[in-house]
Amino acid sequence: MYVRPAAAATAAFLGLTLSVLGASASSAAPGPAGFTNPTVYAHRGASAYAPENTLDAIDLAMRLGFDWVENDVQRTKDGELVVVHDDTLARTTDVEQVFPARKPWRIADFTAAEIARLDAGSWFGEEYAGARVPTLREYLDRVQRNHQRLLLEIKKPELYPGIEEQTLQVLGEAGWLDDQHVSRRLVVQSFSADCVRIVHGLRPDIVTAFLGTPPVADLPRYAAFTDRINPWHTTISGDWVAAVHGLLGAHGKAMEVDTWIVDDEATARKVQDMGVDGIITNKPDVVREAVGGY
Ligand code: G3P
Ligand code: CA
């Protein structure tokens, strides 16, 4: 793992984003195929090196020099939004030990207070013992404190009716829906086109992304309600990326492509050569080394 040089790290602590320092995707030097360097997103935080979707993972992303972090939002039995990827707690917490009779340990079957008791770090490494599943509000406050930016995924919205409106409510309460956040620091994405459409309808100013790889012929339908199409890297080609770029998205700008999950240098260079705008990765330091983005 490469930790950022002291001067750049200091800049991050001071809240000077690298875009201010002239290293944003739009101002970076052209990459190997003439494209600008893609933005690098720390997927579930720097999740190759710290337990995913915890505050430790976003703190580590910050220390590595990355201001964009990705997360996953779901809802508890008593209506709290929490940051977890799977729809059960089994893989990333000690829920099986704490609540052995509650199989299959679905998030939606546990209260926020119960989830707050769980250890979300020991499964990854003993040095992270005691890490907690953050509520969305706790997570937003930490991202804010770290001067980071957020690619927020609404996960499995079909399980949580109304989660789009609730997510926006929490974002608003945390101060994340003012002009500064909406214009520069927030993207909302989902694998559900309906979810993305709902978010766009409720807050048309928010930048949104659809997770998937629609056929080129279908792209104009997506352009009506979203700004980005974010595909799995194995599903794309340079022609497909160019087709997305050829359309104007919901905000009247060329649509963008942020691809996932790219954790090795060769693949990072390959998708950079396809012209992607962003790379979502568990190993942001590795991708930065390959493509030069932040
Ligand atoms: O941000 C893209 C990526 O997170 C989508 O896949 O399963 O990791 O949520 P997943
Ligand atoms: Ca995700």
Q: What is the dihedral of CA 141, 53, 172, 143, to 10 degrees?
A: 40
Residue 197 in contact with residue 178, Cβ under 8 Å? no
Q: Is the CB of 70 under 6 A from ligand 1?
A: yes
Q: Is the CB of 260 under 6 A from ligand 1?
A: yes
Residue 252 CB neighbour total at 10 angstroms? 7
Ligand 1 pocket: which of 72, 74, 88, 152 to mutate (most atoms within 8 A of CB): 72
Residue 88 in contact with residue 117, Cβ under 8 Å? no
> Residue 69 to residues 101, 233, 286: CA-CA distances in angstroms?
35, 18, 15
User: 218 pLDDT exceeds 80?
Assistant: yes
Which structure tokens are listed for 162? 């109304």
User: 6 pLDDT exceeds 50?
Assistant: no
- Torsion sign across C-alpha atoms 164, 165, 166, 172: positive
What is the reported pLDDT for 8? 36
- Give me the percent of the chain exceeding a pLDDT of 70: 88
Residue nearest to atom 3 of ligand 1 (CA): 260
Radius of gyration of the chain (CA): 18
Q: Work out the pLDDT band at 78, boundaries 50, 70, 90.
A: very high
Which atom from ligand 1 is nearest to the alpha carbon of 151? 1
Closest CA to 124 of 94, 85, 100: 94
Cross-strand bridge partners of residue 229: 210
Which atom from ligand 1 is nearest to the alpha carbon of 260? 2
Closest CA to 71 of 46, 39, 40: 46
Which structure tokens are listed for 104? 């299959």
Nearest ligand to the CA of 230 is: 1
What is the residue extent of each domain of the chain? 26-87+134-291
Q: How far is CA 33 from the centre of its chain?
A: 26
Across 153-160, average pLDDT: 98
The answer to whether the predicted template modeling score (pTM) of the entire model surpasses 0.85 is yes
Ligand 1 pocket: which of 70, 234, 283 to mutate (most atoms within 8 A of CB): 70
Is 251 among the catalytic positions? no
DSSP state of 135: B
Which structure tokens are listed for 3? 């930790």
User: 5 pLDDT exceeds 80?
Assistant: no
What SS3 class is residue 253?
coil
Nearest ligand to the CA of 209 is: 1
At CA 29, angle to CA 28 and CA 31, rounded to 5? 110
What SS3 class is residue 264?
coil
Distance 233 CA to ligand 2 centre (A): 14
What is the reported pLDDT for 31? 47
User: 15 pLDDT exceeds 60?
Assistant: no
pLDDT tens per residue, range 110-134: 999 999 999 999 999 999 999 999 9
Is 233 among the catalytic positions? no
Q: Is the CB of 50 under 6 A from ligand 1?
A: no
Q: Work out the pLDDT band at 34, boundaries 50, 70, 90.
A: low
Superfamily grouping for domain 26-87+134-291 = Phosphatidylinositol (PI) phosphodiesterase (3.20.20.190)
| Ion ligand 2 residue ranges (Cβ < 5 Å) | 72, 153
